[in-house]
């Protein structure tokens, strides 16, 4: 049941003293950098409860120091002859500086503060008449500033009030955030809007980055630089490799996405148009190849540099930032022994603040207290993985995935779980929709091959990354190949969220920045099937994303189709289906070749990571009474709200 708290508004004076100073009584206002000679800091700061080993909301949020500064860089990405500067907005408690207590930083670096807003309610930054931050989006400042943290919102390069031109996840954007962390640690310079130098003497230099989608992606990229001072990151539904965000194994999701996104979030200027033109020239949309352009935006390859701990969360239904992003990042961090924690919800591209609010705020509080305040609260002794197994039902695990070796499931004509002989043929039909493909699983449908298991005799947990190995012979030099893993059986399945008219409040409020946010309901839809995972590959890219190998028409070759990571328990009695088609005009950019492909059954298999149960083929195919509902469509990547 949702706990509903009344919206509380704390009225404060609307007067703002001056740029980069506090709101509130002038006599109590310290200068931005703290007192010239601070008294000795207490051994235990006022905001720390030594008994509970947690920070407490003891500082006055209404009297918080609000600063807007500009951090210097050595980049001139807009070619105007002046180095770019990065706009940084800060909300921090005023009391610690009076006693010489230095505090850590929670940072959300984003391109969305001006163009699109943050969170389910699309909040944007607002400023007072002097251009000093007034409202910081989301609840982080309301909740954490009274507990002895500074909240820092960074307009990344080329967005908001920063200058320059962004390169969409590239080296320059990442460096713009690194420059801010360096300033917070005394290794860089900054100034106010009127040119006065400003130092961050009020902070310990310990930084935790947090953010959803693009914001969380920046956290991943910055962590992959190994910058000193970054102690932890909390990426929410975040990209780990931009190549894998825009395409799957050479199959594009949408064309010209990188220059489009740069233009949507960035400055409208001829200089930035040139930068975005370069993005379009170098993205290799025509070939689908993984190049140095994409390597620069692949953070997994630099996981060995990560010194920060990582608390990541992702939706198992997310087909905007798909689940391969969390799985490959998690695996890379695991190989490098990075301290980490993982939450996997049923949801799609949704912040856990929306779907598991109370537990999320509590766990985030403990996580930041441990990694930024040094409080030994036992958070790292808790289970490292928490997974939503049905709406609002969560189960904890020690690790993820549950198994590392997939089970090989043979294919035969129409069957999943029995070895077959001979071959089956598919001719590309780009007009097939997903509804067509998954409906009537026992019927013969041109352009689709379906393989079905017998009803499961025991529950089966799929935990990890499935794939499909196909030995194929094509009449074309290449073709896309699409695979869908489906579970059939009537059930109520998660289908999205809906915003309610109720709200909860997380932290302190002012008349210009309240801490109250609407709650959401989880929706379910009764249906006869659910998609477990999808996957796409350009057959010529199966062996190498960098150097594709065209198929030799009429010659057999082996192609591996990677599906998306999943963790799902399939109940007893359900039937698993594997649907194989060629091009997919709904979930990818149309790239059909009209190919005809033969599948050698003896050389083909489904690779599925299971923890229990056994997949067996049916002795005979029985029609399944179906009432197909429209599946969730892939979100439009050209919609920033996604």
pLDDT tens readout for residues 408-418: 999 999 999 99
Residue 5 lies in a domain: no
Mean pLDDT confidence for 20-25: 32
Whether residue 388 sits in one domain with residue 349: yes
Instruction: Quote the CA–CA distance of 364 and 370 in Å, as a whole number.
Output: 10
Total tally of structural domains belonging to the chain: 2
Tokens encoding 565: 């990571």
Global pTM value = 0.90
pLDDT reported for residue 635: 46
pLDDT reported for residue 592: 79
Residue 3 lies in a domain: no
Instruction: Quote the CA–CA distance of 615 and 143 in Å, as a whole number.
Output: 49
pLDDT grade, residue 405 (50/70/90)? confident
Mean pLDDT confidence for 497-511: 96
Residue 40 lies in a domain: yes
Whether residue 331 sits in one domain with residue 254: yes
Tokens encoding 592: 């059909």
Tokens encoding 306: 């990560």
Tokens encoding 534: 């999808």
pLDDT grade, residue 33 (50/70/90)? very low
The angle formed by the CA atoms of residues 531, 532 and 538, to the nearest 5 degrees, is: 85
Whether residue 376 sits in one domain with residue 458: no
pLDDT reported for residue 624: 32
Tokens encoding 187: 């290794």
* pLDDT tens column, 328-369: 999 999 999 999 999 999 999 999 999 999 999 999 999 999
Residue 106 lies in a domain: yes
Closest CA to 107 of 59, 155, 35, 171: 155
Whether residue 530 sits in one domain with residue 381: no
Closest CA to 299 of 162, 386, 467, 177: 177
Q: Are 538 and 287 in contact (CB under 8 A)?
A: no
pLDDT reported for residue 634: 45
Q: Tell me which of 52-61, 403-412, 629-638 is least confident.
A: 629-638
pLDDT reported for residue 623: 33
pLDDT grade, residue 593 (50/70/90)? confident
Whether residue 274 sits in one domain with residue 371: yes
Say whether 349 is catalytic: yes
Name 416's bridge partners. Answer: 411
Question: Higher pLDDT residue, 29 or 56?
Answer: 56
Torsion, Cα 33 38 44 45, to 10 degrees, reads -40
Q: Is the pLDDT of residue 23 over 60?
A: no
Q: Tell me which of 345-354, 461-470, 616-625 is least confident.
A: 616-625
Q: Are 422 and 386 in contact (CB under 8 A)?
A: no
pLDDT reported for residue 630: 34
Given 352, 371, 397, the domain boundary residue is 397
Instruction: Quote the CA–CA distance of 230 and 371 in Å, as a whole number.
Output: 10
pLDDT reported for residue 591: 78
pLDDT grade, residue 13 (50/70/90)? very low
* pLDDT tens column, 117-156: 999 999 999 999 999 999 999 999 999 999 999 999 999 9
State whether residue 420 is helix, strand or coil. Answer: coil
* pLDDT tens column, 515-554: 999 999 999 999 999 999 999 999 999 999 999 999 999 9
Instruction: Quote the CA–CA distance of 507 and 56 in Å, as a whole number.
Output: 11
pLDDT reported for residue 618: 62
Concatenating the DSSP letter of every residue in 546-613 gives SS-----TT-EEEEEEE---EEEEEPTT-EEEEEEES--TTTS-------EEEEEEEEEEEEE-BSS-
Q: Is the pLDDT of residue 75 over 90?
A: yes
Whether residue 290 sits in one domain with residue 251: yes
Three-class secondary structure assignment of 418-487: CCCCCEEEEECCCCCCHHHHHCCCCCCCCCCEEEECCCCCCCEEEEECCEEEEEEEECCCCCEEEEEEEE
Instruction: Quote the CA–CA distance of 414 and 84 in Å, as a whole number.
Output: 61
Cite the DSSP H helix spans in 310-356: 324-335, 352-355
Q: Is the pLDDT of residue 81 over 80?
A: yes
Whether residue 413 sits in one domain with residue 391: no
Q: What is the CATH number of the domain that holds 565?
A: 2.60.120.260
Instruction: Quote the CA–CA distance of 617 and 454 in Å, as a whole number.
Output: 5
Whether residue 216 sits in one domain with residue 138: yes
Q: What is the CATH number of the domain that holds 363?
A: 3.40.50.1820
Residue 288 lies in a domain: yes
Residue 104 lies in a domain: yes
Say whether 584 is catalytic: no
Given 397, 420, 447, the domain boundary residue is 397
In percent, the amount of the chain with pLDDT more than 90 equals: 86
Residue of 47, 314, 325, 349 with catalytic role: 349
Q: Is the pLDDT of residue 622 over 70?
A: no
Q: Is the pLDDT of residue 9 over 80?
A: no
Measure Cα distances from 522 to 346, 390, 396 in Å.
10, 11, 21
* pLDDT tens column, 290-320: 999 999 999 999 999 999 999 999 999 999 9
pLDDT reported for residue 1: 38
Say whether 638 is catalytic: no
* pLDDT tens column, 551-588: 999 999 999 999 999 999 999 999 999 999 999 999 99
Residue 635 lies in a domain: no
Residue of 141, 167, 318, 514 with catalytic role: 318
Whether residue 446 sits in one domain with residue 364: no
Tokens encoding 430: 């780009």
Whether residue 353 sits in one domain with residue 255: yes
Q: Is the pLDDT of residue 620 over 80?
A: no
- Cα radius of gyration rounded to whole Å, the chain: 26
Q: Is the pLDDT of residue 386 over 50?
A: yes
Whether residue 539 sits in one domain with residue 488: yes
Whether residue 495 sits in one domain with residue 531: yes
* pLDDT tens column, 269-285: 999 999 999 999 999 99
pLDDT reported for residue 619: 53
Residue 613 lies in a domain: no
Residue of 54, 213, 309, 331 with catalytic role: 213
Q: Across all residues in the chain, what is the average pLDDT? A: 90
pLDDT reported for residue 42: 73
Q: Is the pLDDT of residue 215 over 90?
A: yes
Mean pLDDT confidence for 247-259: 95
Domain that holds residue 593: 407-608
Q: Is the pLDDT of residue 25 over 90?
A: no
Instruction: Quote the CA–CA distance of 187 and 200 in Å, as a whole number.
Output: 10
Question: Higher pLDDT residue, 518 or 7?
Answer: 518
Given 363, 397, 431, the domain boundary residue is 397
């Amino acid at each position: 049941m949702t706990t509903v708290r009344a919206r509380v508004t704390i009225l404060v004076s609307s007067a703002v003293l001056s740029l980069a100073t506090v709101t509130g009584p002038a006599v109590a206002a310290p200068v931005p950098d703290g007192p010239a000679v601070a008294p000795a800091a207490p051994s235990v700061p006022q905001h720390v409860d030594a008994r509970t080993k947690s920070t407490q909301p003891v500082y006055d949020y209404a009297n918080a120091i609000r600063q807007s500064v500009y951090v210097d860089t050595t980049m001139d990405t807009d070619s105007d002859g002046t180095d770019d500067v990065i706009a940084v907005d800060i909300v921090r408690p005023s009391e610690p500086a009076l006693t010489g207590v230095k505090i850590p930083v929670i940072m959300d670096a984003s391109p969305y503060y001006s163009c699109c807003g943050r969170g389910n309610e699309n909040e944007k930054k607002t400023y007072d008449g002097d251009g000093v931050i007034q409202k910081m989006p989301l609840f982080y400042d309301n909740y954490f500033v009274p507990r002895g943290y500074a909240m820092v919102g960074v307009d990344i390069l080329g967005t908001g009030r920063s200058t320059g031109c962004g390169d969409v996840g590239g080296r320059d954007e990442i460096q713009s955030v690194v420059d801010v962390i360096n300033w917070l640690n005394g290794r860089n310079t900054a100034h106010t809007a009127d040119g006065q130098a400003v130092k961050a003497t009020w902070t310990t230099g310990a930084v935790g980055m947090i953010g959803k989608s693009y914001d969380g992606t920046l956290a991943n990229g910055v962590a992959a630089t190994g910058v000193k001072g970054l102690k932890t990151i909390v990426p929410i539904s975040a990209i780990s490799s931009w190549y894998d965000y825009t395409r799957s194994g050479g199959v594009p999701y949408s064309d010209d996405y990188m220059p489009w996104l740069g233009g949507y979030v960035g400055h409208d200027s001829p200089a930035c148009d040139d930068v975005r033109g370069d993005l379009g020239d170098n993205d290799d949309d025509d070939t689908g190849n993984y190049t140095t352009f994409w390597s620069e935006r692949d953070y997994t390859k630099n996981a060995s540099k990560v010194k920060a701990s990582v608390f990541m969360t992702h939706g198992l239904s997310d087909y905007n930032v798909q689940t391969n992003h969390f799985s490959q990042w998690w695996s890379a961090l695991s190989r490098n022994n990075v301290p980490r924690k993982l939450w996997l919800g049923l949801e799609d591209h949704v912040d856990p603040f929306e779907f598991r609010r109370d537990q999320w705020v509590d766990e985030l509080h403990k996580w930041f207290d441990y990694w930024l305040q040094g409080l030994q609260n036992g958070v790292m002794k808790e289970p490292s993985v928490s997974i939503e197994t049905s709406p609002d039902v969560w189960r904890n695990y020690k690790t993820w995935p549950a198994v590392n070796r997939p089970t090989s499931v043979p294919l035969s004509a129409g069957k999943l779980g029995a070895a077959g002989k001979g071959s089956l043929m598919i001719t590309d039909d780009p007009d097939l929709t997903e509804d067509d493909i998954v409906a009537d699983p026992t019927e013969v449908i041109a352009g689709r091959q379906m393989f079905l298991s017998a009803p499961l005799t025991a529950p089966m947990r799929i935990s990890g990354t499935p794939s499909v190995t196909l030995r194929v012979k094509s009449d074309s030099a290449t073709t896309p190949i699409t695979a869908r893993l489906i579970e059939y059986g009537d059930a109520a399945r998660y289908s999205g969220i809906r915003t309610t008219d109720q709200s909860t409040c997380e932290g302190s409020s002012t008349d210009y920045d309240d801490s109250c946010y609407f709650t959401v309901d989880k929706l379910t839809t009764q249906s006869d099937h659910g998609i477990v995972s999808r996957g796409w590959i350009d057959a010529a890219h199966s062996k190498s994303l960098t150097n594709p190998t065209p198929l030799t028409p009429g010659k057999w070759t082996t192609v591996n189709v990677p599906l998306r990571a999943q963790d799902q328990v399939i109940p007893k009695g359900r039937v698993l289906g594997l649907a194989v088609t060629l091009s997919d005009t709904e979930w990818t950019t149309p790239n059909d070749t009209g190919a005809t492909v033969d599948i050698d059954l003896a050389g083909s298999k489904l690779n599925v990571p299971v923890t229990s149960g056994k997949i067996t083929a049916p002795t005979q195919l029985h029609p399944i009474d179906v009432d197909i509902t429209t599946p969730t469509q892939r979100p439009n990547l050209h919609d920033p709200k996604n």
